[in-house]
Amino acid sequence: MQLRGQGLSLEHAILGFLSEHARSGYDLKTRCFDIDAKAFWTADQAQIYRTLERLRTSKLLTSSVRRQTGKPDRKVYEITASGHESFSEWERRAAALPSPRDAFLLQVYFAAELSDDEITGLLRDRRASHQARLEELRLEAVEASRDRSVSARASVLRQAAYAGATAAERAAIDWLDDMLDAISAGLLPGSGMSDADGQRPLFGLAPA
């Protein structure tokens, strides 16, 4: 009964894009997902076509083939009234937070057997990735702000969404910087077992 962590967002994202106007699968992939919503959601082309088909058989959208000159036919999908209803319901629904799933935090959690230098390397790499994503995000937000085809309200909300993604990247970078500072200040203890109890060496592995 209760809505799980998330799920089915792709369907709603597609309905959202088709709420603006009718589009083909190709448009959705190359325009909407590869550009507009890149910062929030990614979708494979195959995934998009499968989902379109599912939505069509659920009568949430209809399709019609349009001839083009010089190009293959386009199959254009249009949202139906019940499609819009479904989208609208999703849009208003407060979903639960997704369950945590962060491989990098796990890596840090277990990092005790790495040397300070190895840890520092991982943190720096990670920082660079977030920095790069931050820059992409900045460009995407600027690009989006140029889109005059949407209402002022929609435009502000889109910028708010970019701001949310941006805030997350910045927070990650700040946290990484704090850790890097702490390590270079020598605040990470060595790997000695602090005292009495605790585990024996697990088995004879290659001496570090």
Partner DNA sequence: CGTAGCATGTAAACAGTTACATGATTGT
Partner DNA sequence: ACAATCATGTAACTGTTTACATGCTACG
Between the alpha carbon of residue 191 and those of residues 23, 80, 116, 185, the distances in Å are: 58, 62, 10, 16
Question: Using CB distances below 5 to 8 A depending on partner kind, what does residue 25 bind out of its own copies, DNA, none?
Answer: DNA
Measured from the CB atom, the residue of 106 and 182 that comes closer to DNA is: 106
Residue 162 burial by CB count (10 A; 0-12/13-18/19+): exposed, middle or buried?
Answer: buried
Q: How far is CA 123 from CA 30, 46, 128, in A?
A: 33, 34, 9
Under the binding rule (CB under 8 A), the answer on residue 161 touching its own copies is: yes
Q: What is the dihedral of CA 49, 47, 29, 154, to 10 degrees?
A: 100
Q: Which is nearer to its own copies, 67 or 197 (CB)?
A: 197
Scan residues 44-63 and list those touching its own copies (CB under 8 A).
none
In the bound state with its own copies, the residue whose beta carbon lies nearer, of 73 and 145, is 145
Residue whose CB is less far from its own copies, 52 or 108: 108
Residues between 53 and 112 that touch its own copies (CB under 8 A):
79, 81, 84-85, 87-88, 90-92, 94-112
DSSP 111: G
88 binds, among DNA, its own copies, none (CB under 5 to 8 A by kind): its own copies
Point out which residues bind DNA (CB under 7 A): 1, 4-5, 7-10, 24-27, 30, 42-47, 49-53, 68-76, 99, 101
Question: Which single residue is written with the structure tokens 């937000």?
Answer: 141
